[in-house]
Amino acid sequence: MSSLTITPQGPLRGTVRVPGDKSITHRALILSALAEGPSTITGYCKGQDCLNTLRCLQDLGISIQELPDSLQVFGKGLWGMTEPTHPLDCGNSGTGLRLLTGVLAGQDFFSVLTGDDSLRSRPMGRIVTPLRSMGANIQGRKGGELTPLAITGGALKGIEYSSPVSSAQVKSAVLLAGLLADGPTTFVEPLLSRDHTERMFRYLGIPLEITGRKLRLTGRTPFQARDLSVPGDLSAAAFFLVGASIVPNSEVQIPNVGLNPERTGILEILKEMGADIQVLNRREQAGEPVGDLLVRSASLHGTSIGVERIPKTIDELPIFCVAASIAKGDTTVTGAQELRLKETDRIHAMATELRKMNVSIQETADGFIIRGGSKIHGAACASYGDHRIAMAVAIAGLAADSPTGIEDTACIDTSFPGFYPNLLELLTSSR
């Protein structure tokens, strides 16, 4: 177990580079493995979640060379994977496990997917149900609702599926299975979720019809490998966007950040709250919009977030709660019950830890009510083994009146190795 002590030290100043986008890295690895031929992935996320997906692919017979600044993946085509000799451990990554389940459902061998204690408690029925309707043979605890998942792969058939939830992980699992299925696969979701998979399909030349919230894919079409450049992770950048906004006299530059329009909810909401954030040098990189961010401290005011904005903001809500705690006035979040099904119950975790820091925050069934503007006190806090909780509390500690201690912070490495040294460097640069 590791811990951090955050001591308020004044403004954040300088430039910080955030890790490659975690969501895109998972997809780049998996689709490069299914492609025909070698490809190079640059800018990838080196967090444990993505490295676990990399190891799983290696255990499935995919050759991946780890170079200092890139990965070289030797794709073996849609059916080039081989049966693993032991269970595939996805660690803490729900994205890795759910996407790999879609791929393994169509492979002609037996495999088992598992993860850590947190991942083994997260819902898998939302992917198992559509995959079973495609012909997949998937068994698991509680009828396939929980991992480990045992998959006897084989021939799949395309389906038409209307998802009851807006989830990029569900959508991607079905689309990846659809690549291996006979006939067309159609997927419809109630609200648009992030579209990294769709963009990467188009970049790799995989035929995909998109009509609003409806996707249609014809499977069993091989595709050639292409080099992929992964932009910086906006979810990681969000911690510094909030930190620089709430600590007076701060100015931070964050270059090369992914600006996928289905991910930019946190940017839009912070600006509505009064944040001083500029997007510079907009461009496109491997099918994804990218830009450089410049953020300066500003006075924030409360706001409201409803269900329609949750898919674009879900991963950033823990750090958003910190911004709302400092902002003047009330903030409400509704329709965010999905937060209770993440690495931990993030609604309960953020409410509990911020209350320790003198924040007036009320936990509701599907979100929060936050009365901002209270003086933040330093406190002894917990991470719940959740990387986003740990980093959010660390940023809150920057605005406190005394040091804040956070226990069990090794989890930060699942998405942002180097978070604390980067934070210290920004604080040192201000002196």
Closest by alpha carbon to 260, among 215, 207, 305, 198?
198
CA distance 275 to 258: 19
Residue appearing with tokens 């964050």: 254
CA distance 374 to 372: 6
CA distance 317 to 310: 9
Task: Find out whether 6 and 394 touch, Cβ atoms under 8 Å.
Answer: yes
Question: Collapsing DSSP states into helix, strand and coil, what is residue 215?
Answer: strand
Pair of tokens at residue 355 = 């209350």
Cβ neighbours around 87 below 10 Å, total: 17
193 dihedral zone (left: phi>0; alpha: psi -120 to 50; beta): beta
Of residues 89, 195, 315, 413, which has the active-site annotation?
A: 315
Cβ neighbours around 375 below 10 Å, total: 10
CA distance 124 to 94: 9
Tell me whether residue 182 is one of the annotated catalytic residues: no
| Gyration radius (Cα) of the chain, Å | 21
Q: What is the dihedral of CA 213, 214, 219, 225, to 10 degrees?
A: -30
239 contact partners, CB below 8 Å, separation of at least 6: 319, 391, 392, 394, 395, 416, 419
Residue appearing with tokens 């811990």: 3
275 contact partners, CB below 8 Å, separation of at least 6: 241, 245, 295, 298, 300, 323
Residue appearing with tokens 């090369």: 256
Closest by alpha carbon to 206, among 228, 188, 226, 191?
226
Write out the catalytic residue numbers: 315
